Amino acid sequence: MYVASENRYEVLPYYPSGKSGLKLPAVSLGLWHNFGDTGRFENMQKMCFTAFDHGITHFDLANNYGPPAGSAEINFGRILKEDLGIYRDELIISTKAGYGMWPGPYGDFGSRKYLLASLDQSLKRMGLDYVDIFYHHRMDPNTPLEETMGALASAVTSGKALYVGLSNYDGPTLEKAEAILRDLRVPFVINQNSYSILNRTIENNGLKETSARLGKGIIAFSPLSQGLLTDRYLKGIPADSRIVTDGRFLNEKALSEERLAQIRALNDLAIARGQTLAQMALSWILRDGVVTSVLVGASKPEQILDNIQAAENTTFTPEELAEIDRISL
């Protein structure tokens, strides 16, 4: 039987999500990859245990995580039932709805029908009465924003979610959504978006600035650019790489000579800082206090242990920041 480490809260700092009272660990664990039915359940357990033993209290899911869709929630629900469930009040569990989940017009995007049905399904798969954060997963150009935000409000008033978040929104849409949720008195506390040294979209579309101005947190997914911001591709493509085993989100075309030259230069800078490239990439995201947490994925427990060390040094000199920009932009 799993027993959590007594020293689990001595490893990572915890930061408030915007101006809310909800604190998240500097590093959170995402179950986007490696928690579907193609993975080994024993490895999933070990990764969750390693994460929690080292202060990662936040586990992030979505209705369509797998493969197949829904299987990550089912597998995580089994881990909760067999091991982690006794620590439920120490955990932040989030899920999302917004991408295609079942056939027909009611299984996609942002209608009230879809969001609330999806939340009920997610709770059943995980064996939970509520999630801590329920996100709308992507903007929907065809559903009135008032309807989508009203569905998030219902998730909270029904007791099935404690907080709500928005994922893959841009700055202008975030501002409109925030005004609606504020009028509805909904505890909207966080935005989830892709952000990394190699992907500055939230800086360019106004999301980062708007989120900070409105007092909302940000959690960054794909902070290592699907593994590119690590040292594992500097000597070729490993046999167990996602490029070889999956290929849906990262393929060989991403490893152009120009990209490899950037990765090598960034790796040299990380070594000079006394970090791995992955650690520096995560530290860079946390550098200015605007991002609440970085959301890491992992295929083995050792990767989690490496990533959490990023929180130990989030200070960069102006020269280091300028060099990162010179290499990557």
pLDDT, tens only, 279-308: 999 999 999 999 999 999 999 999 999 999
Q: Which domains does the chain have, with CATH numbers?
A: 22-328 (3.20.20.100)
Q: What is the pLDDT of residue 304?
A: 98
pLDDT, tens only, 28-49: 999 999 999 999 999 999 999 9
Residues in the chain with pLDDT < 50?
Answer: 244
Q: What is the pLDDT of residue 244?
A: 45
Q: What is the pLDDT of residue 274?
A: 97
Whether the full predicted model's pTM is greater than 0.85, yes or no, is: yes
Give CA–CA dist 329/200, Å, rounded: 9
Q: What is the pLDDT of residue 255?
A: 78
Q: Is 73 left (phi over 0), alpha (psi -120 to 50) or beta?
A: alpha
Ramachandran angles phi, psi of 34, nearest 5°: 75, 10
